[in-house]
Amino acid sequence: MNPVFVAIDTPGLRRATELAQALRGSVGGVKLGLEFFCANGPEGVARIAEIGIPLFLDLKLHDIPNTVAGAMRSLAPLLPAVVTVHAAGGRAMLEAAKAAAGQNTKVVAVTVLTSLDQSDLQSIGVDDAPHDQVQRLAALARDSGLDGIVCSGAEVKAAHSGWTDGFFVVPGVRPEGSAVGDQKRVVTPGAAVADGASILVIGRPITEAADPAAAAREIAASL
C-alpha cells in the first residue's frame, strides 16, 4: 500500500476535487480535515469519495462517549478508511468510538499534536515531555481497542516497539528541504516509514507543488 496520504486542507470543494482527481493513483488516499468538513459537510466528503480514492477523515472527535458514538455512526455511510478521535477523551469515549465505527474503518487516537512542544504541554498542565505523553496515550488507545494512534515521527519508533501490530499515522512529514510551516516536530518520509509509520500525512509539499502528482510520486519512490 502507498503510505502517502495527501492533506487537502482547503474549504474549496472545487479545489479539493481537482486535487483528489489529479492525485488518484499517485497517493494512498486523501486526508480531509475540519476546514473542509465544516465548509462542505458530509455531502462534500461524498463528492470526493466518488473519485474512488481512500478517505481519511481527520475530525479529531472529542466529546462525551454517547456523542462521539453518534458522530461515528453518522460518518459510517461515507465509508472512511480512517477516522481520528482525541485520546484525551478517555477510555470510555475511545471504546464507544470504536464500537460505533464502520466495520472497515480504522479508528486512531490523536496523542500530541505536531504543532505542540514541551512548553505548550506545560501551558495546559501536562508536565511530561511529548515523548512520554505519547507513550501514555498510545497505551490507553491500545487498551481501549483502537486500531492505532496519530503521533509525530519523533515518537513513532517507541510507540511501534510497544504496539507492534498498531496502525501509526504520522503527520508533520516534510521531504528534505521543505519548509516546516506551523509544525514543530517534523521528520522526513523515509525516516518515518523506517521507524514504523503506517501512513504519512503530507500536505503543502504536494498540494503547493507545480505538479502535485509528480511530487507525490517522487516522495513515494523515495521510500
Residue type, 175: P
CB 94, CB 109: distance < 8 Å: yes
Among residues 60, 98, 106, 157, the one annotated as catalytic is 60
Give me 94's grid cell.
Answer: 475511545
Contact status, residue 74 vs residue 57, Cβ threshold 8 Å:
no
Active site residue 60: yes
What 3-state DSSP class applies to 46? helix
Task: Give me the amino acid identity at 206.
Answer: I
- H helices of 28-64, in order, are 34-49
Q: Where are the beta strands (DSSP E) in 8-156?
A: 29-33, 55-61, 82-86, 106-110, 148-150
Strand partners, 202: 6
Grid cell in block for residue 21: 482527481
Burial class (CB in 10 A: 0-12, 13-18, 19+), 216: buried
Q: How far apart are the first and last CA of the chain?
A: 12
Q: Report the candidate in 42, 35, 30, 28 with the shortest Cα–Cα distance to residue 12.
A: 35
Active site residues: 60
